Every structure is written in structure tokens, then in C-alpha cells.
Amino acid sequence: MISSHTLSILVENRPGVLARVSGLFARRGFNITSLAVGETEHPDVSRMTVVLSADGKPVEQCMKQLHKLIHVLRVEELPGDASVDREIALIKVGVGVGKRAEVLEIVEIFRAKVSDMDVDALIVEVTGSPDKVRALTDLLEPYGIIELARTGRIALGRGGRGLKAPTLHPVPIESAS
């Protein structure tokens, strides 16, 4: 059954890692709905949050294969009900003086904010769950959306447990050969 999966992946912060990870999804024809990458509390480690829609069994296999990538440190699927997920959207709405008050009212209700304002347009900045962003976009649509940019989803599991990068233990080279 096709459903949405959110994967949290800790990787070494190096060139080429994104290509290796996305290549594994591409090979299976998974469509990536959203992808966000950024440094973690440890500058050598980045966290990738990948949202994809696919069948469960191949996703599980794909996670095992992600684990095999040398620069991948940890892989976890975040359960929808036990994780916090957010994204930021910047929405440029084409409203001049006439309708501006209506838009500002919507922005207020959504606890979004206006980040830029010009005579004939303004940029709304909203943070929230994908559902909230979608709801706001729907409401702003009639006013004319000129441009829209979304960060893609970032997510963390709820509670005290965390996905941690393993401590970096160098291996003596003797055991290498």
C-alpha cells in the first residue's frame, strides 16, 4: 500500500552524500515529496529529512541499503503520530492597498507573519505542519500567489530519546588488511 514515510537520516557532512542517498531512492522509482538537509549540533554531521510516498516493504529494504552507504551514520523512520514535523513557507501574494487588510487578517489568524511589503505585493512567512501550510496557501490563493517557496519538512521524534550520531572512533589501520 502506498503511504507517506518520513525518514530521518544522519550523514557525514561531506560532498557527494546527497547524491548517494537520493540515488538509492531514484533506483527504486520512489518519488521524494520533500527533502531537507542541514547541519546538526555536531558540525561534521548533517541530518536529512526525507518524505516519500511508497509501499512499506521496499522502504524498509531501502533503509537497510541506506545503512550500507559508508557516509550514512543512522537511519530511522519517524512515526507520524510520535514526531513533530514542521516546514517554513514563503508566500508572495499579489495584493495592493485594496485587499491588504483581508490578507493581514488571514495572516494573523494563522500566526504567520509578513516579512516584506511592497505597494503591490507582500511576502507571508509561515511555520507549521504541512497541513497548516496547505490551509494557508489555499486561503491566499484567491488573492493571487506570485511565488511560493517551501523548505521541505524537518522532523524530530517526540520524547527524550534521540537519533544520535555514533561517536567517531578511529579504527587502527592494522585491522584494515
Partner 1 sequence: MTTMTGAQSLIASLERVGTDVVFGIPGGTILPAYDPLRDSSIRHILMRHEQGAGHAAEGYAHVTGRVGVCFATSGPGATNLVTPIADAFMDSVPLVAITGQVPRAAIGNDAFQEADITGITMPVTKHSYKVMDPDEIPTAIAEAFHIASTGRPGPVVVDIPKDVLTSPTAFDFPSTLNLPGYRPTTKPNRRQIRAAADLVREARRPVLYVGGGVFKARAAHELIALAETIGAPVVTTLMARGAFPDSHPLCLGMPGMHGNYAAVTAMQRADLLINLGARFDDRVTGRLDGFAPDAKVIHADIDPAEIGKNRHADVPIVGDAKSVIVELNKAVLGDNSERGRVDLEQWHSEVERWSRDYPFAYDQSEEGPIKPQYVVERFAEATKGDAIIATGVGQHQMWASQMMPLNRPYSWVTSGGLGTMGFAVPAALGAKVGRPDERVVAIDGDGCFQMTAQELATATLEKIPFTVAILNNSHLGMVRQWQELFYDERYSHVHLPQVPDYVMLAEAYGAVGLRAESVADVDGVIDKAMSVDDRPCVIDFRVDAGEMCFPMVPAGASNDEIIVGPNERPYDGVPQAPNEAYQRREEAAS
Should residue 97 be labelled a site residue for partner 1 when binding is judged by CB under 8 A? no
Should residue 65 be labelled a site residue for partner 1 when binding is judged by CB under 8 A? yes
Give, as one character, the DSSP assignment of residue 135.
H
- Grid coordinates representing 153? 519538512
Closer residue to partner 1 (CB): 98 or 166: 166
d(CA 6, CA 25): 13
Alpha-carbon distance values, 162 to 10, 27, 77 (Å): 11, 29, 12
Closer residue to partner 1 (CB): 72 or 78: 72
**Rg, the chain, Cα only:** 20
Should residue 101 be labelled a site residue for partner 1 when binding is judged by CB under 8 A? no
- Which part of the chain contacts partner 1 (CB under 8 A), choosing from 86-94, 108-116, 132-140, 165-173? 165-173
d(CA 52, CA 2): 10
Closer residue to partner 1 (CB): 28 or 132: 28
Which H/E stretch holds residue 105? helix 100-109
Q: Which of 48, 59, 72, 93 binds partner 1 (CB under 8 A)?
A: 72
Which H/E stretch holds residue 68? helix 56-68
Closer residue to partner 1 (CB): 67 or 158: 67
User: Looking only at residues 3 through 62 of this chain, which bind partner 1 when binding is defined by CB under 8 A?
Assistant: 11-12, 15-16, 19-20, 23, 27, 61
Closest by CA position to 50, among listed 91, 15, 18: 18
Instruction: Give residues in contact with partner 1 (CB under 8 A).
Output: 11-12, 15-16, 19-20, 23, 27, 61, 64-65, 67-73, 165-173, 176-177
